[in-house]
Amino acid sequence: MSTTTTTDARDSRAKAPAGERVADWADGRLGIYSLAKANMRKIFPDHWSFMLGEVALYSFIIIILTGVYLTLFFHPSMNEVEYHGPYVPLQGQLMSEAFNSTMYISFEVRGGLLIRQIHHWAALIFLAAMFVHMMRVFFTGAFRKPREVNWVFGFLLFVLGMFTGFTGYSLPDDLLSGTGVRFMEGAVLSVPIVGTYLSFFLFGGEFPGGDFVARFYSVHILLLPGIMLGLLVAHLILVLYHKHTQFAGPGKTNNNVVGMPLLPVYMAKAGGFFFLVFGVIAIISAIATINPIWSIGPYRPDQVSTGAQPDWYMGFSEGLIRVMPGWEINFWGHTLVLGVFIPLIIFPLVLVAIAVYPFIESWVTGDKREHHILDRPRNAPTRTAFGVAWITWYMVLLIGGGNDLWATHFHLSINAITWFVRIAFFVAPVIAFIITKRICLGLQRRDHDKVLHGRETGIIKRLPHGEFIEVHEPLSQEQLHTLTAHEQYKPAEIGPAVDENGVARKITRREKLRAKLSKGYYGEDSQIAKPTVEEYKEITSGHGHH
Amino acid sequence: MSSQEIPEENLPAEQGDAHGAVKVADEKNPFADPGLPPHEHRIQDIDERAAKRSERTVALLFTVSMLATIAFIAAYVAIPVDKAIYVWPIGHISALNFALGMTLGLALFCIGAGAVHWARTLMSDVEVADERHPIETSPEVRAQVHADFRAGAAESVIGRRKLIRNTMLGALAMVPLAGVVLLRDLGPLPGTSLRHTTWAKGKKLVNMNTMEPLRPSDVAVGSLTFAMPDGLDEHQHDFQKNIAKDALMIVRIQPDDIKDKRELEWSHEGIVAFSKICTHVGCPISLYEQQTHHVLCPCHQSTFDLADGGRVIFGPAGHALPQLRITVGEDGYLEAVSDFAEPVGPAFWERG
């Protein structure tokens, strides 16, 4: 302790006047002190799950830094050139300038391969971190008022991140990514009425044409990241403005935020964490090759390799397209390509299903208060079950997207896997929902017993008359409070059928639906009533009577 | 929002307003919030030697980072870009990539580890509570804003001068059309281009591996040959566009095994030519099972029966593979009788 204080004192003696003068100058022009007053010592609560969003933020920064470096060498052109670089197997082959310059980055620019691999690894981690962060927010109910808008911002970042990733890995114009672009073209062609027009406008004519790399390039490095940067800043401003949520616990209420200040603790922890994430991604990129375009080769529309897979975040859309039956309806000289168009429609719907959930829940509860205390997932069984059902759905599609790899790695029939996915697409989420809800209720019961009967100590005591009992240790008040702090809603009733004047009122279908949903959420079968003070007193006053 | 709001009493009670202040344990309510627990000192808070140790650890980490950066620069200068080394268990990898990545990773990681260790062991870890304030503004402010807005709107006379309002909305709605129109030249109109390929009467079938025209004797039973039309050349600027539609699969099937009558008619001595482009979303089909005459698209596993008119037997493809009618020309080479009778590749609205 004393060391730090003396160092601080020395530092401030040496630097403070100059630093202060600069800060004062800036304050006179920008009024930064009111901002600093609100934020410099802002309190952030501590929990491991709060760092998932940070991983996403830092990998985004890493992607921008490495991406700018890559633009210095990459040529977004589809002009065909002959390869004359140092990689012998491809020498003399025709390839686009895009592929050629990616080869140049990988083999001739010192450190170019490292930056390329950091860029690609960081992109995979960025999407994964956003996904897990989104699940953290979902399962703890952190999306509730006042944070719904920020949930939507985060969701948009995830979706835009997917497309930035797709346009990015398509740029090298290699055989694998070109196959992905071809898949996209096929999907666009399936759109009724305007499909061929969309495809011709996108590719500047027939696939593959000579334009899509340049077009994807401006979308990948300018349009999408620009929008994402704006959303990201808004996302962070809202995090600061709303102040972070926290889990229930002693001293933590809905009206405060308990933790440590931004300056110095989170400056050091979060700032340091950026370097940890960057360091780990750099080491991964040193030892694990990603997207070795030299062994994949340049794109040709008549060639393909087996085991072609998109990057993981696109895998669920791949699953949709792989397991859908090939329905085609021909009528009056036209074709409705349902086998491709339906997956194209379900693709955004899978994502929207999770995005709209907060609004459905808030409609069912009718709760308009602010919520800053996080739920433990078990205490919101229906929400948790919905979330797990959604993840199950997503994972089933991911399995479908890799059905060939599952077949070859686990020696299964590809037909059987495809049929499994077709059925599980409808059934697995339902099963997951039911099981999760039961697990949540079981955990609620356990909390209930723990509060009333105390902690199982594992100590077996033999009573004078020979009976063995396990000694239960009563919980501290901190623990009792933490386990009983959650809110429990009562199911909403349909209001009286007559209004205050005795006039019959029409009960809308909306109201009936809401009452039904509310019962499903908060009825007897959907939550375990938390122990009351009376119950607790009754049990604890009669000590010894187990 | 809804026809009937849920009454307040249906919502659970608000949690206590402890504001983080330590409350005396409530005798009546054992579940009440006891307030923030007292701060527990870390060893560094009470033992100066432990604090010194932490300081040295942090400084060591920062020093390692500096050394790693120097090593990064040294590696950049010293290691040739084309040198490969064997690293267990990864295998042969680029020496420069490995060295640069490891040193950069170490340099960054040590800064992070140092900062986090510093924060965790030496910076104050006293938890404090900050009050929250409702996000919603007070009713007075809200009323004021509504009144201001109404005053502003009234002063603009937009509500009274309907002609101005309507023409303005019309102008604003129309002006983006300019931007939409500008997108027209993104590409040509499709026309019938998706219906045609380079194939035409008399076009020879060229083996893609040897680039030699195919004779019937070149196609053995059980083999799969890829072919393209004579005259197509990699160096042509529209080669990619053409090969995306022209690519062929040639197989020879015993004529007795061909189940489809038209297929037999369009073949030559059991040699059949099918489009290589999958009718699902356009991947090139490349896996052939000679016993069953099935071909499989490796992208989405659509499976077609080449002995039965290219019929789909499994997977997401919606229609059979188009067959190219072939014959043998006067010079003894395989050639096309005409273009494909139907569009190749994925289905589209105008396909019919």
Whether B4 shows a pLDDT value over 70: the answer reads no
- Whether residues B88 and B149 share a domain: the answer is no
pLDDT score recorded for residue A6: 47
- Whether residues B280 and B231 share a domain: the answer is yes
Do residues A276 and B112 lie in contact, with contact meaning Cβ atoms separated by under 8 Å?
A: yes
Residue B29 counted as domain residue: no
| Cα–Cα distance for residue pair B48/B40, rounded to 1 Å | 16
Q: Which domain holds residue B231?
A: 196-336
Q: In the predicted model, what is the mean pLDDT of chain B?
A: 90
- CATH value at residue B290: 2.102.10.10
Q: Is A73 on the interface with B (CB under 8 A)?
A: no
Residue B351 counted as domain residue: no
- Whether residues B200 and B332 share a domain: the answer is yes
Mutate to test the interface with B, among A99, A289, A304, A510 (most CBs of B within 10 A): A304
| B317's tokens | 């493809």
Task: Tell me the Ramachandran region of residue B211: left when phi exceeds 0, alpha when psi lies from -120 to 50, beta otherwise.
Answer: left
- Whether residues B314 and B211 share a domain: the answer is yes
Total CB pairs under 8 A between chain A and B: 424
- The interface pTM score, or ipTM, of the predicted complex is 0.90
Whether B20 shows a pLDDT value over 50: the answer reads no
pLDDT score recorded for residue B293: 92
- Whether residues B101 and B212 share a domain: the answer is no
The alpha-carbon gap from A458 to the nearest alpha carbon of chain B, in Å, equals: 24
Percent pLDDT > 70 in chain B is 92
Higher-confidence residue of B177 and A543: namely B177
Enumerate residue ranges in chain A where pLDDT < 70.
1-16, 542-546
Residue B85 counted as domain residue: yes
Whether B8 shows a pLDDT value over 70: the answer reads no
Higher-confidence residue of B98 and A535: namely B98
**What is the domain count for chain B?**
3
Residue B346 counted as domain residue: no
pLDDT score recorded for residue A2: 42
Q: What is the mean pLDDT of residues B69-90?
A: 94
Q: Where are the domains of chain A?
A: 48-375, 438-541
Instruction: List, for residues A495-521, the tens digit of each pLDDT value.
Output: 777 777 778 877 888 888 998 899 889
The alpha-carbon gap from A467 to the nearest alpha carbon of chain B, in Å, equals: 30
- Whether residues B146 and B259 share a domain: the answer is no
Q: Is A261 on the interface with B (CB under 8 A)?
A: yes
Q: What is the mean pLDDT of residues B337-349?
A: 95
- Whether residues B58 and B159 share a domain: the answer is no
- Residue of chain A minimizing CA distance to B45: A1
- How open is the CA angle A55-A61-A63, to the nearest 5 degrees? 100
What's the half-sphere exposure (Cβ side, CA atoms, 13 Å) at B148? 6
Residue B135 counted as domain residue: no
Residue B318 counted as domain residue: yes
Q: What is the SS3 assignment for A268?
A: helix
Do residues A513 and A360 lie in contact, with contact meaning Cβ atoms separated by under 8 Å?
A: no
Asked if B12 lies within 8 A of A185 by C-beta distance, the reply is no
Strands (E), A376-533: 455-462, 468-473
- Whether residues B113 and B243 share a domain: the answer is no
Q: What is the mean pLDDT of residues B235-264?
A: 92
What's the CATH number of domain A48-375, 1.20.810.10, 3.40.50.300, 3.20.20.140, 1.10.10.10? 1.20.810.10
Whether B22 shows a pLDDT value over 70: the answer reads no
pLDDT score recorded for residue A497: 76
pLDDT score recorded for residue A411: 95
Q: Which residues of A touch B101 (CB under 8 A)?
A: 114, 117-118, 282-283, 285-287
A206, A211, A268: residue with CB nearest B123: A268
| A509's tokens | 């279908």
Residue B276 counted as domain residue: yes
- Whether residues B215 and B324 share a domain: the answer is yes
Q: How confident is the model at residue B30 (pLDDT cuts 50, 70, 90)?
A: confident
pLDDT score recorded for residue A425: 96
Asked if A328 lies within 8 A of B282 by C-beta distance, the reply is no
